[in-house]
Amino acid sequence: MPDEDRQPHPSMKHREVSSRALTVTRNDVPADAASMLFIGNATVLIEYGEFRILTDPNFIHRHEEVPIGYGLHATRLTDPALEIRDLPPIDFVLLSHFHGDHFDHVAEEQLDDALPIITTPEAAEELRKRGFVQVQALETWEEITVTKGSSSVTITAAPGRHGPLGADIVLPEVMGSILEFGAPNDASLRLYITGDTLVIDDLAELPRRYPGIDIALMHLGGTRVMGVTVTMDAEQGVEMIRTVRPEVAIPIHYDDYDVFKSPIEDFKKAVRDAGFEDHVRYLERGERLELPAPAKARADGD
């Protein structure tokens, strides 16, 4: 996207948000680590600076089912690229919402119940019922800064709505996430994770508050539940790129379940038609994307 979109915006210096802090000391990650591994669905392992972050843990296998509410189930069509037992030590989990294809029974049973989880208030309540003791709930635009050694990452809850107005009442509360590694006004890397949202008016605030988003992980798939589309399809995915203006958009969450009805090929065509091919990167499950080293990521991009 245009270089001027990458400069700090004055509104970033005066954020009217509630802010909290969390310190983690769980494991050793090299200070120059800089990569993300696509495991499958919305599950990504992010290693950046001294942090190792897991998003939306979903580790069931092909042909297994997860509940999606009101007696309905979704069947997985793929296998995760990595088993949960093979994960390296994690600093914290970032959970967009509490749904079976984002936090499954494998995660519930095998994740350490003392592992910090940052999520929505609704999901936090469900996790506490299940014995997780370090759950941090964020309202929209609320932020938390996590520190580890000399590194920090600030996570801000971005707007999201899991379905059209009215239908979202029966679906889980969902949040997007902005991750800023380093000082918020001069971050080495700005990462946006959409969560299971449609493109809604509130998202227009994102590029004003957070210009210069380096990478957007976009939950696509055109998920349909009882005939209603509740996640972005191909056209909405392109509209999200127009709205947020990331340097690179990476589609995830698009072919792992039978409720996903918008094929990735439709998104690729929509991207070509919109002229956004230079700003989209496609990852296979199990593929690792190398990122610019933390100390020089922002300098190299400007």
What's residue 93's pLDDT? 98
Please check whether residue 84 lies inside any domain of the structure.
yes
Residue 141 domain boundaries: 20-286
What's residue 19's pLDDT? 67
Please check whether residue 206 lies inside any domain of the structure.
yes
Please check whether residue 100 lies inside any domain of the structure.
yes
CA dihedral angle for residue 280, residue 38, residue 75, residue 132, rounded to 10 degrees: -130
The C-alpha atoms of residue 185 and residue 226 are separated, in whole angstroms, by 43
Q: Is the pLDDT of residue 17 over 70?
A: no
Could you say which DSSP state residue 6 is in? G
Q: Are the CB atoms for 189 and 233 separated by under 8 Å?
A: no
What share of the chain has pLDDT > 70, as a percent?
89
CATH code, domain carrying 120: 3.60.15.10
CA dihedral angle for residue 239, residue 240, residue 241, residue 245, rounded to 10 degrees: 120
Of 25-29, 62-66, 177-181, 261-265, least confident by mean pLDDT is: 25-29
Q: Are the CB atoms for 220 and 267 separated by under 8 Å?
A: yes
pTM of the model: 0.90
Q: Are the CB atoms for 58 and 41 separated by under 8 Å?
A: yes
**Count of domains observed in the chain:** 1
SS3 88: coil
Please check whether residue 9 lies inside any domain of the structure.
no
